[in-house]
Amino acid sequence: MAERSRVIGDRLAQWAAAEPDRRFVCCGGPWLSFADVHERSDRIAAGLADLGVEAGERVALLALNRIEYVLAFFACAKLGAVQVPLNTYLRGEFLRHQLGDSAAATLIADGPGLREAARLAGELPALRRAVALDDDDLPDLPVEVVAFEKLEAAAGPAPRPPLSPSDLAAILYTSGTTGLPKGCMMSHGYYQAIPRPYFENGWYGAQDTILTPFPLFHTSGQAITLMAGLTEGAALAFEPAFHAGAFIRRAREVGATVLWGVGAMGMAVLAQPPSPDDRDHDVRLAMWVPMSPDDQAAFESRFGIPVISEGYGQTEATPITMNSVVGIRKRHTAGRPTSMFEVRLVDDDDRDVPVGEVGEIVIRPRDTDVMFSGYWNRPAATVAAFRNLWHHTGDSGRADGDGFITFVDRKKDVLRRRGENVSSMELEAALLRHPAVERAAVHAVPSALTEDDIKACLVLRPGATITPDDFFAYAKENLPYFAVPRYVEVVEALPVNAMGRVMKHVLRESGVTAATWDLDALGLVIGRDERR
């Protein structure tokens, strides 16, 4: 194959020319080859161009995992359009912010996504057109709506503007900490750099078949996994939805050699009743991040699958550290810096902390186009993050004498639940729109399934009352399912310091009290079929 292009559409064209029949991707249906994806995404790009989509224009994608998502991703990349993948469970203000901030002119969405967007149509002045992935009843949108099939029926050819690895391919929103979520600008080159350390450290191999339920709107699905196929030729099986009881069977069906998901998924698979078929598979490695060493051992013993879980990164730069499948490995750490980054641990004055002491993780790229290009329309935030010529992650860690880094905590006020980052500021703002709530503060509570559960502490308006059912009905209507607090406590006042800032460490120390509602225990849970 000729020198590998770091422009996404050109790299796909190289594969289609060199190995057209090599299987590339499936998503709940038949496998598509490189030639299939190249030819179909060409037609879709032509269809988008016929609608008026141009290079640099933002195209938002709002749908569950499906093969059309993959095709639309490559079509946008070929046109030079900037893809904006949206979490499929966003609702209300959460969705309006990302569509509005990106000024997306085109929305490609499934039925639930279009219906949610229709609720906000009057607040999205930049939106000019929508593409419907499904044939069900379409909502009333004040813009042109066309069927996805119409795009793929386009005759073409599509415009192919000259692109470089530094050109923008996508805007991925990451949880806000001092404000609303910011859009990370992701270049063509960064996308293709992301899988490199996974191959270098043995997590992936060019001949692997990777099975993952990671959503295609997420960096783990769209960049770490999809780009592993594009850059090295790995075959990719995306699950439309995660089902713990069927996951090992699905591995057999697709011929998976690598499993890839968050630790909570691995724990859910492990929690299934033992089966005689537990070791009937060809899987060589399970990537469950994070998972404790003891749980890794339990998974390995039962399924006969080695597990690796130790890595660290963020949308802005990933992977920053990771352990290697071979060689020295410390399972209680997040591994050592990858080949793409210099890594330091510093104090508040950006001075290096001694080995073993906690400091903020800061990084600097060793190559071009291996991390994000800044925050969309937020130059001040970009400069602040890159102060003193090092990107400040906002996360704390400690290093040992061998250079292994242990993640300690998030300096940023952000929660991690169900594999998703949740901005506490954004969640608190949403809770304050409840007519009974005067003040709100949220914080993390340790979860038995790894990551966090969320507790909300509420101060009510004078004379107002609220019940668990009232709160849950509001949260279900106005929050993504993963941001709905499990625990809720009505308090007389929030603890504040002299500056009036809520002292969340005091709330965390109180934890789950006798006065706290446990919505899960009360049966107030959003079912899988109610998430959208």
The 3-state DSSP class for residue 70 equals helix
Q: Domain check: are 199 and 273 in the same one? A: yes
Q: Domain check: are 135 and 253 in the same one? A: no
Q: Is residue 172 part of a domain?
A: no
CA–CA dist 20, 120 (Å, integer): 42
In Å, the largest CA–CA distance within the chain is 72
- Strand stretches in 316-451, DSSP E: 317-322, 336-337, 341-346, 359-365, 391-399, 405-410, 414-417, 420-423, 437-446
Q: Domain check: are 202 and 144 in the same one? A: no
Q: Domain check: are 146 and 26 in the same one? A: yes
Would you state the pLDDT for residue 177? Answer: 45
List, as one string, the DSSP characters of 84-151: EE--TT--HHHHHHHHHHHT-SEEEE-HHHHHHHHTTGGG-TT--EEEESS-SPPP--SSEEEEHHHH
Boundary (domain end) residue, out of 292, 309, 326: 309
CA–CA dist 176, 78 (Å, integer): 30
Q: Is residue 1 part of a domain?
A: no
Q: Domain check: are 225 and 144 in the same one? A: no
Please answer whether residues 456 and 488 qualify as being in contact, where contact means their C-beta atoms are separated by less than 8 angstroms. Answer: yes
Q: Is residue 475 part of a domain?
A: yes
* CATH of residue 472: 3.30.300.30
How much is the CA Rg of the chain, to the nearest whole Å? 23
List, as one string, the DSSP characters of 44-58: HHHHHHHHT--TT-E
Q: Is residue 406 part of a domain?
A: no
* CATH of residue 23: 3.40.50.980
Would you state the pLDDT for residue 137? Answer: 75
Would you state the pLDDT for residue 78? Answer: 98
Q: Domain check: are 136 and 205 in the same one? A: no
Q: Domain check: are 111 and 203 in the same one? A: no
Q: Domain check: are 22 and 149 in the same one? A: yes
Q: Domain check: are 13 and 141 in the same one? A: yes
Would you state the pLDDT for residue 265? Answer: 93
Q: Is residue 136 part of a domain?
A: yes
Q: Which two tokens stand for residue 382?
A: 């970009």
Q: Is residue 339 part of a domain?
A: no
CA–CA dist 282, 248 (Å, integer): 10
Boundary (domain end) residue, out of 248, 275, 309: 309
**Helix orientation angle between 263-270 and 247-254, rounded to the nearest 10 degrees:** 100
Any bridge partners for residue 82, and if so which? 58
Would you state the pLDDT for residue 362? Answer: 98
Q: What range defines the domain where residue 453 resides?
A: 418-530
Q: Domain check: are 47 and 101 in the same one? A: yes
**Residues of the chain where predicted confidence (pLDDT) is lower than 50:** 177-178
Would you state the pLDDT for residue 450? Answer: 67
pTM: 0.85
Would you state the pLDDT for residue 28? Answer: 93
Instruction: Report how far Cα 118 is from the mean position of its chain's Cα atoms.
Output: 24
Q: Is residue 396 part of a domain?
A: no
Would you state the pLDDT for residue 423? Answer: 74
Q: Domain check: are 57 and 110 in the same one? A: yes
pLDDT tens digit string along 264-276? Answer: 899 999 999 999 9
Q: Is residue 26 part of a domain?
A: yes
Boundary (domain end) residue, out of 251, 278, 309: 309
Q: Domain check: are 125 and 223 in the same one? A: no
Instruction: Give the chain's domain count.
Output: 3
pLDDT tens digit string along 493-527? Answer: 999 765 566 888 789 888 899 999 999 999 999 99
